[in-house]
Structure 1
């Protein structure tokens, strides 16, 4: 069983996030839209009418969102290339997309464990999840995703501890409310797991080997930061942060185009 694509490929998707997911203007999506209703910007070929100007047109939420490849997996594998336009149960498809996105996000982290701190137990769970991503809709919807989250969470904690071991005095800011705070200096090996870092100022900080699993990085200023070996940093977190040309990202993550301005 090979690992499915773990980053979005909109050309291989039927615009599922633009149709199946609900969103609101207050969350940066321009308008309020219920789940199962196509976005007003979705074209008949499932492309976006304002993709090149989403932020300028008041849709920053779309630029932050990442499905981790769940969209094309559901489109091409789960439903065998059958579009939502030909489905009579969009509620089921939406639920499947939600499950698939969670599975793919877990795989993203387990792939990182295999690269940064290999663990046979993590390989076993990864293989289970990869097999599940190829299952039919009913099997996906019956899967105990919460139990998988617990198993994967424990494995990620163990991997994080191994990678951060060289910094025994590093501070633990897990689930701390650091919104708007100025955090300067050397934070190597710190844990910011689940921390609230909205609009925090981390400019120039050394963030190597920090654990950022689930940290809220909306409008977090990471200009000039070294995040090259940060743990469990995802594309949506990067997309929501404020960086620049001097911000160093981990392997496999893309620099948002707006960081160049």
Structure 2
């Protein structure tokens, strides 16, 4: 007789993060069945109560209800795994207790470790054994930490770019991007490993990217500032940017030379 498949819920308000988490889980635990995905804390609770998943992967900061508040409604039935970009929670609150966590963006190695740990804990809870009593106390402590932390002062800038590559979807961290360059139809995303085409316009990117990390250096070009290794003048007197891990140069238009006033 076949054993019942282990089931899971994924909740994150960013679709690219849900896609990445699903892909990492498929690689680390192919037998795991994702029964539902939620875009906010309220949906997470509703879908969790409807499907009763064995595991709930919850982002900490979500609209409606936080992942911690959702976990308070779900932990009696589901093993809770928090996915968070806020490592202070992991360092201060997760290591001692029955909860698991993943730091975003999730690496394949970290996902494999977490899945192995979850398997052991699910086996320990076999036979409908009650959830450890300290989970409720740990969630209360996390709620207090979240309240003291307050809301992030920085806007929620774009962190992932989705690029279609053949029949697959490539997830590109903005930290990988050297520059964006647009023409009339497409925007080229240049990374150290290659280039990709997306349909997002430069205007959309300007509204969504952190202006401290990406500068517009030409009407058609955005450059990640910390990818710039050198600014030089060519034979025609134009400012040209040399980028780390990239052989070509990027032109700075005359209207944007003020960004490099020391030259």
TM score, norm. by length of structure 2: 0.25
**Structure number with higher relative contact order (C-alpha < 8 Å, ≥ 6 residues apart):** 1
Higher helix share: 1
Larger Rg: 2
TM score, norm. by length of structure 1: 0.25
Higher strand share: 2
